[in-house]
Chains A and B, each alone.
Chain A
Amino acid sequence: MTTAIESGKGGLRAYLTAEVSHSPTQASLQRLYFGCVRFAQNPLAMIGLGILLLLLLLAIFAPVIAPFPMNEQNLGRRLLPPSGAHWFGTDELGRDIFSRVVYGSRITLQITCLVAVIAAPIGLIFGTVSGYFGGWTDTIMMRITDIFLSFPGLILALAFVAALGPGIRNAVIAIALTVWPPIARLARAETLTVRSSDYIAAIRAQGAPAWRIVLKHVVPMCLSSVIIRITLNMAGIILTAAALGFLGLGAQPPMPEWGAMLSTGRQYLLGSWFLAAAPGLAILVVSLGFNLFGDGLRDVLDPRDE
Chain B
Amino acid sequence: MSATDVNQPRETISRGPEVSKIPPWAWDAWRLVSSVAVTLIGLLALTFFIGRMLPIDPVIAIVGEQADASTYDMVYKQLGLDKPLYVQFWFFISDMMRGEFGNALFTGNKVSADLLRVFPATIELATIAITIGVCLGVPIGVLAAVYRGSPIDHITRILGLLGYSVPTFWLGLMGLVLFYAALGWVGGPGRLDVFYIDIVDRVTGLLLIDSIIAGEWEVLRNAVSHIVLPASILSFNAIAFISRLTRSFMLAQLSQEYILAARVKGLSKWKVIRKHAFRNIAVQLLTIIALAYGILLEGAVVTETVFAWPGFGRYLVSGLLAGDMNAVLACVLIVGIIFVSINLICDLLYRILDPRTK
Which residues of A are at the interface with B, using a C-beta cutoff of 8 A? 44, 143-144, 146-156, 158-165, 182, 235, 239, 242-243, 246-249, 259, 262, 265-266, 269-270, 273, 276-277, 279-281, 283-284, 287-288, 290-292, 295
Residues 28-62 of B, flagged 1 when their CB comes within 8 A of A and 0 if not, give 00000000001100110111001101110000000
B335 contacts A151, C-beta separation under 8 Å: yes
Q: Closest residue to B317 on the A side, CB-wise?
A: A247
- Inter-chain contact A262/B320, CB cutoff 8 Å: no
Contact at A150–B39, with CB atoms within 8 Å?
yes
Least CB distance from B243 to A in Å reads 15
- Scoring B residues 146 to 171 as 1 if CB is less than 8 Å from chain A, else 0, what string do you get? 00000000000100011011110111
Chain A residues with CB below 8 A from B171, complex form: 280
| Shortest beta-carbon contacts, A-B, top 8 | A280-B170, A147-B42, A152-B298, A288-B165, A163-B53, A287-B165, A163-B54, A273-B177
B96 to chain A, nearest CB (A): 15
Nearest A residue to B299 by beta-carbon distance? A154
Complex CA gap A235/B328 in Å reads 26
CB neighbours (8 Å) of B38 from chain A are: 143
CA–CA, A91 and B171, complex, Å: 20
A249 CA / B176 CA spacing, docked (Å): 23
Interface segment among B119-127, B224-232, B300-308: the answer is B300-308
CA distance A235 to B240 in the complex (A): 15
- In the bound complex, residues from chain A placing their C-beta under 8 Å from that of B45 are 147
CB-nearest residue of chain B to A147: B42
CA distance A284 to B164 in the complex (A): 9
Interface size class of B (residues with CB under 8 A): 35 or more
29 A-B pairs (CB sep. < 8 Å)? A143-B39, A144-B42, A150-B339, A155-B331, A155-B335, A158-B301, A158-B317, A158-B328, A162-B50, A162-B320, A162-B328, A164-B53, A164-B55, A165-B55, A182-B1, A235-B164, A235-B165, A243-B302, A247-B301, A266-B306, A270-B176, A270-B181, A273-B181, A280-B170, A284-B170, A288-B161, A290-B165, A291-B161, A291-B164
Q: Are B294 and A152 touching (Cβ within 8 A)?
A: yes
- CB < 8 Å A-B pair total: 148
Chain A neighbourhood of B321, CB < 8 A: 247-249
Closest to B302 in A: A243
B112 within 8 A of partner (CB)? no
For A269, what are the chain B residues with a Cβ–Cβ distance below 8 Å?
A: 173, 176-177, 181
Of all chain A residues, the one with the shortest Cβ separation from B342 is A150
Alpha-carbon gap, A279 to B162, bound state (A): 16
What per-residue 1/0 map shows which CB atoms of B316-351 lie under 8 Å from chain A? 110011010100110110011001100100000000
The verdict on B6 contacting chain A, using a C-beta distance below 8 Å, is no
The answer to whether B297 has its CB under 8 Å from any CB of chain A is: yes
**Residue from the list B167, B176, B329, B336 in contact with A151, Cβ < 8 A:** B336
Smallest CB-CB separation from A279: which chain B residue?
Answer: B170
**Least CB separation from A290: chain B residue:** B165
Interface 0/1 of B71-83, CB less than 8 Å to A = 0000000000000
Output the nearest chain B residue to A276 by Cβ-Cβ distance: B173
Alpha-carbon gap, A85 to B357, bound state (A): 65
Residues of chain B lying within 8 A (CB to CB) of residue A143: 38-39, 42
Q: With a CB–CB cut-off of 8 A, which chain A residues contact B260?
A: none
Q: Which residues of A contact B290 (CB under 8 A)?
A: none
Decide if B212 is an interface residue (CB 8 Å cutoff).
Answer: no
B295 within 8 A of A: yes
CB neighbours (8 Å) of A152 from chain B are 294-295, 297-298, 335, 339
* Closest chain A residue to B332, Cβ basis: A159
Most buried by B among A148, A155, A262, A290: A155
Which residue of chain A has the shortest Cβ distance to B2 in the bound complex? A149
Is the beta-carbon distance between A262 and B170 smaller than 8 angstroms?
Answer: yes
Which chain A residues border B170 with CB–CB below 8 Å?
262, 276, 279-281, 283-284
Nearest CB of chain A from residue B157's CB, rounded to whole Å: 8
